[in-house]
Amino acid sequence: MTTIVMERIGRLFINLQQVRAVPQMLTEAAPSMPGTLRDTEVPGFFRERYIHAGYRPLHQGWRYYFLSLFQRHNETINVWTHLLGSLLVLVKFLQLAETVDFIDDTHAWPLLILLLSSLAYMACSTVAHLLAAKSEFYHYCFFFLDYVGVAQYQYGSAVAHFYYAVEPNYHQWVSPVFMPTATFLCCLSCLGCCYGKYRNYSLRVWVRKVGQVIPSAMAYAWDTSPVFHRLLRSLWTTSHSDDIPALASGVVGDPAISFHGSQVAFFLSSAFFFTNPLPERLFPGHCDFLGQGHQLFHVFLVICTLCQIQASHLDYLGRRPLYTQLHGEGAATVYLVQYGATLVACVCIAVFVAKKVKQLLNCRDKSK
């Protein structure tokens, strides 16, 4: 038995060694691909704090940036974390499609919106981190695309939480304003992120961060408020387990609660690493390839999303009598239409700010 285990560990080690050798093999197979640069060799706009090397050269052909998916540089892990995350969500989507009727069952549409928006934000993030080194203009454009994806994920989260996770008393309080407010905050978040990026040089860092982080934080707090309310109610009823009506309603022992709690914990962990450049701030120049806070942000956010999808699926299965009573037959159709409308609105915001960037860069070039 011990021999078999050791043989399997040895095979796993060999396979990992082969995977680690892939970037070197590709570099040798395509020697025309330029190497990476130090921070002093690229414009200040592209430099990241505490990251000293691994920058890709600007103004190369598109083929180079696509092939850099397999090159060792300071964005490699950022690309792969959300690329693999999107594949995991896609696999989950295909698994759910075997048992969930996403076409004829309108009550499954909020879950469909969550899945589509999760795929959207991960795909947009992957493209942004992979291709944004092309030039300053494309850097803006691809990260504007990233912000559009994030805004869509915010809307998808709001729909799933409000439709499946909401409790009747909280639904009664916020029903008229919840989705309109979520839609507004979704667009405001996209605008704040795009405009903060556009005013990168003309505003102080803390002003830009406020413009980008505050709308997103407001959107998260509002979109997840049904989950917060439900978690607090679950904690209360668990600590007062002699409450017979609560036990009868199925609050205690709810299978989705642990996944809802996990998604909140993982999101807050991801937010910490998004706002704090750790551990690279403690080890400047030693996290150029692996160990950046943004990489940890990606990993925690992927796990958060997977927990969120699982929780929403369990709610879809287990709370059908409740949400059909609360929302009726037509609400899911309205939310699906609103999802398309917010997508169009966010794309228009990104295109508008991209045009402002183009004008700014043209004026800068003419003044040289």
Residue list, annotated binding site: 129, 294, 298
Cα–Cα dist 250/75, whole Å: 46
Q: DSSP string spanning 189-200?
A: HHHHHHHHHHTT
Cα–Cα dist 211/192, whole Å: 5
**CB neighbours of residue 207 within 10 Å:** 12
Binding residues for Zn(2+), as ranges, are: 129, 294, 298
CA angle at residue 267 from 266 to 268, to 5 degrees?
Answer: 90
Helix axes 205-223, 178-198, angle to 10 degrees: 160
**CB neighbours of residue 302 within 10 Å:** 21
Cα–Cα dist 278/273, whole Å: 7
CA neighbor of 188 nearest in space, from 164, 166, 161, 217: 217
Phi, psi of 162 (to 5 degrees): -70, -35
Question: 279 preceded by cis ω (within 30°)?
Answer: yes
Amino acid making up residue 147 = Y
Name residues whose C-beta falls within 8 Å of residue 191's C-beta, 6 or more positions apart in sequence: 215, 349, 353
Structure tokens at 13: 């080690």
